[in-house]
């Protein structure tokens, strides 16, 4: 028995070492690839182009779907921001998913809503729609009041009622930059094969917001928010850019994505799962490949959507628990795509990435932390090596993080003061000695409760108070 345990511990050290090399090499390679892509993208943007789009017929009308549940605090400022977007023709469909607070009344009062008998076709089955409202003040605003069915059901109801051929789904606690819609829809104009596109989601906490617009970008004040800011920068600028370039982008964030409506209907809309945005993107891949439809699902780094991230550890843990369960559910549901050459890069790169790195990573990490004392007890821990290895891991991680922040700064110039950049780098160090470990623990335990369907509510703050 003892020798079996010895063998396991012995082998596990090999495994961890090579896994560490594999993951960090992948990230380093991603960093280099995304840098090249982002450099070209940032150098080829001509702002004038968007102005031409605004003044010409060169646009495709868009339906913006905003599902909301108990969002009375943020819904008004968010909608006001959306209604001032620079786009020639769009409609905003707010779907009140059976809120138990005053969301509906707040909407009625602030936007002079009037109930109408607007007919629509139920392409995708949803929970009962109690009423459709139009605004007397804003002709482009439609509010759908329906019974609670979850975020997926709310977006599906929005798809049913939308009138334009492409739709954009955004979270009600998010803000879009003025030209984001123009920038993201540009790809639908220029390339007929694009079926879905995602923009970058950035952290709103800490930024100065006035009348639904981000007027000053700052790093947040709370540690929990700063850690997430670093994570978002790295995940979007490095991870999504690379996967998008490799045609293996399996996740377009629910906070800001744009999709072809006809295909959304073909795949029966969003599915009931806690990871519905990833599931939707994966099923789009599947449908297009299985039906031999030429398609592209892409990530564009410059259209920005600002979103509030959890501002307490408790909320963060709840959110990550949900993300983890969502990931596992989606991977299981679409498992036949994994390592399957039929599904091209999605099956051979996208799925392996999510299985080997996103899914396995936290488990291996957790076991590693637990085994350190065990190895030490059994005399299998080479202390000197362990310390060096620990520092290599931290320095390599910091290299990747600084690389992402640098990329952000070189190409998109977001943070206005040096102080903010310093803060991010300082926290990048602490990320590897506390934050990542915490997330690994959360993800590990969430793995065993992946069948739970509970969303968990994250409290929202008023946008103007985010600074």
Partner 1 sequence: MYPVFLTSHYFRSFIIFTLFLLLILDSVLFLYLVIDKILTERREKKKRYSREKFTEIIASKMFDDELLLEIPKDRFSYEVVGDLLLDTLRNLRGDFANKVQDLLRKNGYVEYFSKMLKSKRFYIRGKYAEKFGFTRLSEARQPLVELLKVEKHPYVIKKAVFALSFVFEIDHLDLMYEKISEVKDLGFKYVEQIFINVIRRIREFRNSEKGMRFLSLYAKLLDSLGRRALFEALGLEKVYEAVPIIAGYANSNDPLMRISVARALGRMGGEVSCNILKQYLKDMEDWRVRAVAANFAGICDISVVSILYSLLFDPEPTVAMNAAQTLLQFGRVGIEFLEKAKRNGIGLASEIAKYALEGANLA
Residue 1 binds partner 1, judged by CB under 8 A: no
Q: Which of residues 23-52 bind partner 1 (CB under 8 A)?
A: 40, 43-49, 51-52
Residue 113 or 317 having the CB closest to partner 1: 113
Q: Which of residues 56-75 bind partner 1 (CB under 8 A)?
A: 56-60
Residue 119 CB, nearest approach to partner 1 (Å) = 5
Residue 83 CB, nearest approach to partner 1 (Å) = 20
Residue 199 CB, nearest approach to partner 1 (Å) = 18
Backbone region of residue 460 per phi and psi (left: phi > 0; alpha: psi in -120 to 50; beta: other values): beta
Q: How far apart are CA 201 and CA 115, in angstroms?
A: 34
Query: What DSSP assignment string belongs to 380-415?
Result: ---HHHHHHHHHHHHHHHHHHHHHHHHHHHHHH---
Q: Which of residues 116-155 bind partner 1 (CB under 8 A)?
A: 116-121
Residue 112 CB, nearest approach to partner 1 (Å) = 15
Tokens of 137: 């003040």
Contact 249, 240 (CB under 8 A): yes
- CA distances (Å), origin 193, targets 248, 292, 345, 353: 15, 12, 16, 24
Site track 421-440 with partner 1 (rule: CB under 8 A), x = hit:
x---x---------------
Residue 59 or 111 having the CB closest to partner 1: 59
Q: Which of residues 377-406 bind partner 1 (CB under 8 A)?
A: 379-380, 382, 385, 388-389, 391-392, 395-396, 398-399, 402-403, 405-406
Q: How far apart are CA 295 and CA 192, in angstroms?
A: 8
| Binding residue for partner 1, selected from 14, 128, 341, 465, defined by CB under 8 A | 14
Residue 20 binds partner 1, judged by CB under 8 A: no
Residue 79 or 421 having the CB closest to partner 1: 421
Strands (E), 320-402: none
Element (H, E) at 257: strand 256-260
Residue 410 CB, nearest approach to partner 1 (Å) = 6
Site track 324-363 with partner 1 (rule: CB under 8 A), x = hit:
----------------------------------------
Helix axes 360-377, 2-44, angle to 10 degrees: 140
Q: How far apart are CA 108 and CA 98, in angstroms?
A: 15
Q: How far apart are CA 248 and CA 347, in angstroms?
A: 8
Of residues 302, 300, 168, 304, the one with CA closest to residue 244:
300
Query: What DSSP assignment string belongs to 438-465?
Result: HHHHHHHHHHTTTT-----------GGG
| Binding residue for partner 1, selected from 192, 292, 451, 465, defined by CB under 8 A | 192
By CB under 8 A, name the binding residues for partner 1.
Answer: 10, 13-14, 17, 40, 43-49, 51-52, 55-60, 116-121, 188-194, 379-380, 382, 385, 388-389, 391-392, 395-396, 398-399, 402-403, 405-406, 409-410, 413, 415-418, 421, 425
């Amino acid at each position: 028995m003892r020798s079996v345990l010895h063998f396991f511990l012995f082998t596990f050290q090999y495994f961890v070492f090579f896994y560490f090399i594999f993951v960090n090499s992948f990230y380093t390679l991603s960093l280099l690839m995304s840098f090249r892509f982002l450099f070209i993208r940032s150098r080829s943007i001509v702002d004038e182009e968007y102005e031409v789009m605004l003044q010409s017929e060169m646009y495709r009308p868009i339906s913006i779907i905003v599902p909301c549940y108990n969002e009375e605090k943020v819904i008004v400022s968010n909608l006001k921001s959306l209604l001032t977007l620079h786009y020639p023709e769009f409609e905003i469909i707010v779907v009140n998913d059976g809120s138990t607070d005053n969301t509906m009344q707040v909407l009625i009062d602030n936007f002079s809503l009037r109930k109408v008998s607007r007919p629509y076709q139920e392409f995708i089955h949803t929970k009962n729609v109690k009423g459709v409202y139009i605004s007397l003040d804003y002709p482009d605003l439609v509010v759908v009041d329906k019974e609670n069915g979850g975020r997926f059901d709310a977006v599906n109801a929005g798809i049913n009622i939308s009138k334009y051929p492409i739709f954009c789904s955004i979270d009600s606690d998010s803000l879009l930059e003025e030209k984001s819609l123009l920038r993201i829809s540009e790809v639908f104009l220029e390339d007929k094969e694009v079926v879905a596109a995602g923009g970058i989601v950035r952290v709103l906490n800490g930024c100065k917001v006035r009348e639904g617009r981000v007027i000053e970008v700052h790093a947040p004040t709370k540690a929990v928010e700063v850690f997430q800011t670093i994570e978002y920068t790295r995940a979007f600028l490095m991870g999504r850019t690379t996967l998008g370039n490799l045609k293996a982008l399996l996740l377009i964030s629910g906070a800001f994505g744009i999709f072809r409506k006809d295909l959304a209907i073909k795949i029966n809309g969003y599915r009931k799962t806690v990871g519905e945005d990833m599931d939707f993107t994966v099923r789009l891949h599947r449908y297009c490949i299985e039906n031999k439809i030429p398609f592209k699902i892409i990530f564009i780094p410059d259209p920005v959507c600002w979103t509030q991230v959890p501002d307490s550890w408790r909320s963060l843990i709840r959110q990550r628990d949900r993300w983890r369960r969502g990931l596992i559910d989606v991977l299981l549901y679409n498992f036949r795509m994994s390592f399957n050459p039929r599904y091209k890069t999605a099956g051979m790169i996208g799925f392996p990435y999510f299985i080997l790195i996103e899914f396995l990573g936290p488990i291996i990490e957790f076991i590693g932390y637990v085994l350190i004392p065990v190895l030490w007890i059994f005399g299998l821990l080479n202390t000197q090596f362990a310390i060096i290895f620990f520092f290599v891991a931290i320095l390599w991680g910091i290299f990747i993080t600084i690389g992402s922040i640098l990329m952000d700064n070189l190409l998109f110039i977001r943070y206005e003061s040096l102080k903010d950049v310093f803060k991010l780098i300082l926290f990048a160090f602490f990320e590897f000695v506390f934050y990542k470990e915490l997330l690994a623990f959360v993800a590990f335990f969430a793995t065993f409760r992946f069948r739970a369907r509970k969303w968990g509510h994250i409290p929202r703050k008023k946008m103007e108070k985010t600074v």
